[in-house]
Structure 1
Amino acid sequence: MTPPLLELRHVCKAFGKVVIADGINLTLNENEGLGIIGPNGAGKSTLFNLITGDLSPNGGDILISGKSVLSQRPHQRCRSGVGRSYQIPHPFGKMSVFENVLTAATFGGAAAMGEAEAMSLEILGVTGLLNDVNTPAGKLTLLKRKRLELARALSTRPRLLLLDEIAGGLTEAEVQALISTIRDIRRSGVSLIWIEHIVHALLATVDRLVVLNGGMFLADGDPHEVMRAPDVQRIYMGVEPA
């Protein structure tokens, strides 16, 4: 039996008395899309940091394709197929868009120069940045910085792509364009975990939705059913269900 692409087993993380993960269990299969929602401060980005190795858990295990990665540093997990975008883009501002993506392909994706150049141009096409290849990253609009963040993550050749509020701050038209891009990426076979407050973007792109609250998953299942759950409406949406 093929193991899950990602598996969290009883993962615990606390900062002093603040519990971020309280024995969390989670699996993600190949070609699956998972959305994560939760109140501000629920620990959603911290969960990504645990998966990528930027933080170490206090207990439990994290497996990629059935193998524990706890001993791997972040760059090793990246080479194992875990790519990530960050909530606040921090590109190399004085480097061009192409140079930013090429750097990620070379060092994160371990691609040889010729392969990295071709792959970078292909990814810039997918993410709608081909007209900006020579633009300094520091001069991009917010939408294009978000797209560059996505392009850099894709250039590491991930099997698992972690997106952290990549739609935040965009107009509705820009969100719709982003949804179209994410759908194209999913069709290419990349598995996805997307943290997002713009719930309709998740509903349009993911197969499952989980709600993180108080260090535990409050709900896990079909996205529309999860959003209708009374506890989710009360805790996440702040309304009493009818």
Structure 2
Amino acid sequence: MKNILIASTSTIHGSSYLEYILDELAIFFKDTEEILFIPYARPSGISHDDYTKTAQNAFQKINKEVKGIHTYDNPAEAVKQAKGIFVGGGNTFVLTNKLYKNNLINALQKAVNNGTPYLGTSAGSNICGLTIKTTNDMPIVYPPSFDALKLVPFNINPHYLDPDSNSKHMGETRETRIKEFHYFNTPPVVGLREGSWLHVKNDSIVLKGKLTARIFKVNEPPYEIEPGTELNNFELS
């Protein structure tokens, strides 16, 4: 029984780390006292210890303990034994490379598909999709594969940004880049705006938060879905 929160970001403007979603996390992890944190994405090159401390400080507010996976001798066994899992944001290529290096792709798939609650933010959300090809990150390392955890039947674009009509920037918009992806690839893409998340419960996938999400399907015009929409109804697969 899958139970997943796929959040666009860990921090929204004017709030502290995970603050905007802490009430939701208190419910989501209600049966879990200790959460296994995977800090591999290392935003700005932060150390695994320092990144774990950031997560610990946030989860203390809802009386949850956090332990970094890097402190275990056997990461795959740590995933297998975990009662709750959180994969933080940062660089998706760095994260994916480390997951493959530590043989954690299959371990995470098995754990989540067997019901272990999983929270992903940013890069940790990107890896929930079919591949990491719709990440916004620079490919600063080369993972063995772009294939991700395949926990949902589509790709994800966290931090989705709408074009700014007042901007003088003449480069590609996020929508243009996703269209480029669809020139070579067929999976649907869900553009998650900041402060939005998907709650996956078994076969149900529901958009949460206050903002709409943008849906991209190959050879079709993109469209918006409202919070509370169940994505399964849109034939995403």
TM-score, structure 2 as length reference: 0.31
Name the structure with the higher helix share: 1
Name the structure with the higher strand share: 1
Q: Which has the larger radius of gyration?
A: 1
Q: More relative contact order in 1 or in 2 (CA 8 Å, sep 6+)? A: 1
